[in-house]
Structure 1
């Protein structure tokens, strides 16, 4: 963009006439200010673009280089003596828009970075890996240890490479010996088959008396070759199985032996004993917990009883004080009681004397009985009088009745007699 604009401005200045001296100075000042502004803007864009993305950095670098080229070209033109170019038009809105976009992108990236850091912190807190967020202590020592580990790793790597080279060399030697022996065995077998073929071609059947055909000989030889291959394969399988069994036996033996004089069955027995002892320990711990709870309960009860004892001791002290006061009052009351009893006895004696003097006046019940008896005597006297009058009347009537009866009897006797 800047290069095309510079070319356009140069062409315009070439086509136009030379301006006046005042206009030249104004154009120079404007060009210098624009160049400074251009140089400052790409630097800001470069700083902001480094935090945002790589594309913005390339744009800022290109704009910076173009602005520096413009300034150098103008300086050279002024040094040579050429007249300064006319007023160069610079579209500042484009750079301002780019600056705003880059600042917005930088803020967006910063917010995104903060969010990601927060999520990482929450993740490590959930996983209980808070030590990751803390700064490392003794970083210098760790670096030294890391360097030592790297050196030891390099030494081990070189040692492993040497061992691998030795192993490869030994393997190549073994392969060469194997190839030589295999070739020698094949040659011997081929010679054996050639000898058998040469000897079997002229043989005759003992029963039939016919010569043996070459096809049968070849068939027997191929069968022999197959059987030899099968036997070699079986022998190889047997050797592999034997080696595998030996390796497994060694592994089992290594697994059974934990160390010199230490075996797995002893470990299992010790493990079983350990479990039994652990169960016993747990039972004893349960008993201890129960006893501790009982002890705490008894201690609480004892503390409560002690508090009650202190309270009762205080109550007893107050009661003893009250008892002393009550005993003093009791002794005083006893003395007063003796005096009162003596007075009572004197009064009793005087009352007895007065009672003897008064007779029945002092006893109301006797007086009441006496009055009642008197009233009864009066009533009985009146009743007696009534009864006496009734008896006198009855005797009079009886006498009169006797007289009448005697008179009637006399009259009746006289009548009978007459």
Structure 2
């Protein structure tokens, strides 16, 4: 259902209700003309204004919340505890305020009545003074008429008397005005002095100078408090950092405790192995001593085997003997070959017949045993 239909239905229902409730609704009456467009336009404008005000209200609430958060007054946004007690206290305060207001009204009415009495008394006094002054004026006028100058001997004119009387009245009015002005100034001065005294004295034994000095001290302490707050903020930051460091150190301590427990277990195992190794070391040392003693016996039995230099010389001598033996065998083989060749040569010489002449001449060329020995010696 649209807004226009809703408005039409509401208007029809209101018309029906009015027609049924009116006296003489059975009689024919003239139709009442209602301009619906105006009401719809007014409804739209009011709804638009309501939405705008709602947005403005939400924006202001948000700004207030941000302001209180910046000022660290978040407790203002929280619901109050003991709202019923506060409401009762507020009602009591309202009742006391109404009583004070009634009392103030009564006092104001009393003051007005007193002021009215004072004004009436003042008017009576003023009328009495004016009457007496007028009587004095008439007396002076009656006395002044018919007087004669002492020097000239002429009578004083009535105009002169009237002029003196008007001058006297004017001067008296000026004097009364000045007196009234003086009284007002004196009262104003006394009021100002009383106000200054009241301003200077805040309470019994308390003066404005002391308050100003206290205000200056308050400002100094406020600046000091701000400095201390800055230091506290820095210290809070340092505390958070140190707390994080301590937490990290605690974690490391727990980890190191676990590592220490594991290492203690390993240390116990290592100590057991150490004891076992010491026992094995004792047995090994016994075996070493036995081997050392047996080695000494073997060394005594071995003789030269334990002396490397003697063994080296012995080995060198054996090598030289072996070389000489081989050289000897080679020489023996050469000697055998030479003797064989000599024998073959002798056999050949004996087998071939030579003339006698040649025997004598060639006898010097036949090798003898002495020549053969010398050749062998040269070869060796």
TM-score for both structures, normalised by structure 1: 0.47
1:181 and 2:129 equivalent? yes
> Which residue is 1:246 aligned to?
190
What secondary structure does 2:149 align onto? coil
Deviation of 1:171 after TM superposition, in Å, equals 1.4
> Which residue is 1:338 aligned to?
285
Paired residues of 1:360 and 1:366 also in contact (CA < 8 A): no
Counterpart among 29, 37, 61 of residue 125 in structure 1: 61
Change beyond 3 A, Cα 1:67–1:197: closer
What secondary structure does 1:69 align onto? coil
Partners of 2:41 and 2:24 lie apart in 1 by 24
1:69 and 2:26 equivalent? yes
1:256 and 2:200 equivalent? yes
Partners of 2:232 and 2:211 lie apart in 1 by 30
Match runs of 1:11-160 below 5 Å: 48-49=10-11, 61=18, 68-69=25-26, 115=51, 118-119=54-55, 122=58, 125-126=61-62, 128=64, 153=101, 156-160=104-108
The count of aligned residue pairs is: 296
Counterpart among 295, 304, 318 of residue 265 in structure 2: 318
Match runs of 1:266-277 below 5 Å: 266-269=210-213
Partners of 2:131 and 2:61 lie apart in 1 by 69
Partners of 1:137 and 1:116 lie apart in 2 by 33
Match runs of 1:148-227 below 5 Å: 153=101, 156-185=104-133, 187-188=135-136, 202=149, 204=151, 227=171
Partners of 1:260 and 1:216 lie apart in 2 by 64
Deviation of 1:177 after TM superposition, in Å, equals 1.2
Deviation of 1:236 after TM superposition, in Å, equals 2.3
Deviation of 1:165 after TM superposition, in Å, equals 2.8
Deviation of 1:246 after TM superposition, in Å, equals 0.6
Paired residues of 2:200 and 2:207 also in contact (CA < 8 A): yes
What secondary structure does 2:26 align onto? helix
What secondary structure does 1:258 align onto? strand
What secondary structure does 1:245 align onto? helix
1:306-350: per-residue Cα shift (whole Å, max 9, x none)?
547634642552343133133224313422430342224533653
Paired residues of 2:141 and 2:161 also in contact (CA < 8 A): no
Deviation of 1:247 after TM superposition, in Å, equals 0.7
Deviation of 1:169 after TM superposition, in Å, equals 2.7
Deviation of 1:104 after TM superposition, in Å, equals 6.9
Counterpart among 169, 180, 205 of residue 236 in structure 1: 180
RMSD, matched Cα: 6.2
Change beyond 3 A, Cα 1:195–1:153: same
Paired residues of 2:141 and 2:165 also in contact (CA < 8 A): yes
1:354 and 2:302 equivalent? yes
Deviation of 1:164 after TM superposition, in Å, equals 1.6
Which one scores higher on RCO, CA 8 angstroms, separation ≥ 6?
1
Deviation of 1:178 after TM superposition, in Å, equals 2.4
294-303 or 156-165, larger mean C-alpha shift: 294-303
